[in-house]
Amino acid sequence: MKKKVVILGAGITGLVSAYYLSEDYDVVVIEKGKSVGGSAAGFKYKDFIMDYGPHKIYSELPGIMDEIEKVVELNKIKKKNSIYLEGNYFEFPLKIQQIMKKMPSKAFKAGWDMFAKSISKKPDDSYENYLINRFGKTMYNLSFRDYAEKVWGSNPKELDKELAKRRVAITGMLDLIKGILFKDTKNISADYFYYPPKGIKQLIDNIVDKIKKNGGRILTNENISEIKIENNMVKDIKIKNGIIKMDYMISTIPLDEFVKYINADEEVLDAASKLRYQKLNILYFILNKPRAMEDSWRFYPEKKLIFQRVSEMKSFSQDVGPEDKTVLMVETIKDVNKELVKKIIEQLEEVGLIKENEIEEYFLKSYDKSYPVYTKGFKEHLSKILEYIEKYENFYSTGRPGLFNYNNMDQCWDMAMKTAEHIKEDKSREDWQETKTYFDKYRIVD
Ligand SMILES: Cc1cc2nc3c(=O)[nH]c(=O)nc-3n(C[C@H](O)[C@H](O)[C@H](O)COP(=O)(O)OP(=O)(O)OC[C@H]3O[C@@H](n4cnc5c(N)ncnc54)[C@H](O)[C@@H]3O)c2cc1C
């Protein structure tokens, strides 16, 4: 008889783990949502296929693109993004020569900062100081400071420098200058990305088909009431329809939820409650014109604008909607009501994206735990939780919420593949600690 693996969460990490294990193991995936895919899910609406926020595919991890291409056909797409600052659009990542041309006084100040920076350097003790030390105050204020508040809902002084290390691929002004002189932007941003013709949903649907073909089961709309531990082993899980015993458990769900199911000690529950996540609201505007912009997405870091990013599904694939219409995805962390939508529409007009009479309809989708927020001190809370749950010898917490790892889909794929390998090859707990140290080194290339 095959050994049983229970996987919590049907996001990309849970599903890909199930895909790699389902040939040799009896796999059950338990998902609380009505559908699968987690933050990489897609959905159909009328004649459109949409992502929950744009999901490009790109990887520098060895072998991962080949693995993804075994599951889904991918189109290679030339990347074109921009950033809106002081009434102008600039290519993104920002290039110094564009600032010199359109905002000469800012370029002068940025240059002065470089000199001042060499005289006084702040301790590298926060997101803010880490970035000021590398870009100077002018560049920091221009493109990073307000954006942090708009995406993570936090004062950048209170954010951990780890967030800057993971999210800002470019390491400083020298990279920007190298980009100008030698056209060397490979550390800053990739020139292209990949995308399935029928949206990210096509990738998720294909993974699900493969799991089912291998006999794996995916239970959606489930409710976990308890997870039982005996002698440092996860024994069984109680869900709506009964109890499932298992040989191994993989958890990809948020740690604050997992520790409640195992009735963890008070101090662990307390540490888990201090890990913060940011909710994201996405407004989908269906427009009665074939295209709205040339870019795949545009960043809006300025505080006065309600939204932080706008993207257009049609620039990912022409096959995700009818020829004569398009859809814009507008991201904000503000609570959305009719009044706010009115203001957003005015601001979308102001930044030159739409005219009000082009809007056919709009609707809202929200995702509660979109972004792990790395507030100062998060590593201490995280270590306390992981130390506690990693005593269980047949248990692996992995993926973005499972390790509170601010990662991308390709990294989730890598994590899922490596977690499955640990089970298949019966690797030691010491090996798992090493693998986790490797997961902590992921950096996102935009
Ligand atoms: C707006 C946005 C844009 C992004 N863009 C990109 C991009 O362009 N490219 C890219 O590569 N990555 C992108 N990412 C990151 C990518 O979406 C994530 O890295 C990835 O989807 C995380 O997958 P996961 O399976 O680890 O976690 P999740 O997707 O969060 O999956 C966890 C699953 O667990 C389920 N769950 C939660 N609690 C419970 C419970 N108690 N019981 C059972 N199930 C539970 C959830 O419903 C969910 O399905 C983006 C993320 C966001 C939010």
Superfamily of chain region 277-373: Protoporphyrinogen oxidase, mitochondrial; domain 2 (3.90.660.20)
Ligand 1 atom nearest 407 alpha carbon: 19
pLDDT for the residue numbered 157: 94
In this structure, what token pair is assigned to residue 92? 């993104």
Ligand 1 atom nearest 33 alpha carbon: 47
Ligand 1 atom nearest 399 alpha carbon: 26
Instruction: Report d(CA 378, CA 433) in Å as an integer.
Output: 19
pLDDT for the residue numbered 423: 98
Mutate to test the pocket of ligand 1, among 7, 15, 39, 72 (most ligand atoms within 8 A of CB): 39
C-alpha of 170 from chain center? 18
Residue 71 above 70 pLDDT?
A: yes
Instruction: Report d(CA 91, CA 97) in Å as an integer.
Output: 11
Q: Report pTM.
A: 0.94
Residue 183 above 60 pLDDT?
A: no
> Ligand 1: which residue has its CA nearest to atom 6?
55
pLDDT for the residue numbered 54: 92
DSSP 57: B
pLDDT for the residue numbered 169: 62
Mean pLDDT, residues 44-59 taken together: 95
Ligand 1 atom nearest 258 alpha carbon: 41
pLDDT for the residue numbered 173: 58
Number of Cβ within a 10 Å radius of residue 166? 20
Q: Ligand 1 center to residue 324 CA distance, Å?
A: 31
| 55-69, 78-92, 294-308, 398-412: segment of lowest average pLDDT | 78-92
Q: In the chain, what's the furthest Cα-to-Cα distance?
A: 72
Closest residue by Cα to residue 387 from 433, 440, 423, 422: 433
| 31-40, 124-133, 310-319, 330-339: segment of lowest average pLDDT | 124-133
Higher pLDDT, 92 or 398: 398
Percent of the chain with pLDDT over 90: 81
pLDDT for the residue numbered 139: 84
pLDDT for the residue numbered 431: 97
Sign of CA dihedral 335, 336, 339, 340: positive
One-letter amino acid for residue 366 of the chain: S
User: CATH class for domain 4-40+199-275+374-439?
Assistant: alpha beta
Q: Ligand 1 center to residue 318 CA distance, Å?
A: 25
Q: How many residues does the chain have?
A: 446
Residue identified by tokens 């662990």 is 268
Q: State the chain's mean pLDDT as an integer.
A: 92
pLDDT for the residue numbered 185: 52
Number of Cβ within a 10 Å radius of residue 304? 8
pLDDT for the residue numbered 117: 67
Residue 200 above 80 pLDDT?
A: yes
| 129-143, 206-220, 251-265, 407-421: segment of lowest average pLDDT | 129-143
Residue 184 above 80 pLDDT?
A: no
**How do residues 113-152 score in pLDDT, each as one tens digit?**
777 766 667 888 999 999 888 888 888 888 889 999 999 9
Q: Ligand 1 center to residue 15 CA distance, Å?
A: 11
Mean pLDDT, residues 320-332 taken together: 97
Residue 446 above 80 pLDDT?
A: no
Closest residue by Cα to residue 257 from 9, 5, 6: 9
**How do residues 383-423 score in pLDDT, each as one tens digit?**
999 999 999 999 999 999 999 999 999 999 999 999 999 99
Higher pLDDT, 186 or 240: 240
Q: Ligand 1 center to residue 37 CA distance, Å?
A: 7
Please, is 100 exposed, middle or buried when counting C-beta atoms within 10 Å of its C-beta (0-12, 13-18, 19+)?
Answer: middle
pLDDT for the residue numbered 443: 87
pLDDT for the residue numbered 98: 78
Mean pLDDT, residues 378-382 taken together: 97
In this structure, what token pair is assigned to residue 360? 């056919």
Q: Ligand 1 center to residue 258 CA distance, Å?
A: 16
Mean pLDDT, residues 322-330 taken together: 97
Instruction: Report d(CA 157, CA 170) in Å as an integer.
Output: 20
Closest residue by Cα to residue 216 from 5, 28, 17: 28
Q: Ligand 1 center to residue 371 CA distance, Å?
A: 9
Instruction: Report d(CA 248, CA 19) in Å as an integer.
Output: 15
pLDDT for the residue numbered 175: 61
pLDDT for the residue numbered 321: 96
Q: Which residues line ligand 1 (CB under 6 A)?
A: 8-14, 30-33, 38-40, 53-56, 224, 252-254, 257, 280, 370, 399-401, 407-410, 412
Instruction: Report d(CA 46, CA 28) in Å as an integer.
Output: 32
Q: Ligand 1 center to residue 403 CA distance, Å?
A: 12
Higher pLDDT, 232 or 142: 232
Q: Ligand 1 center to residue 54 CA distance, Å?
A: 13
Number of Cβ within a 10 Å radius of residue 302? 18
Mutate to test the pocket of ligand 1, among 252, 256, 313 (most ligand atoms within 8 A of CB): 252
Domains of the chain, by residue range, sit at 4-40+199-275+374-439, 93-188, 277-373
pLDDT for the residue numbered 34: 96
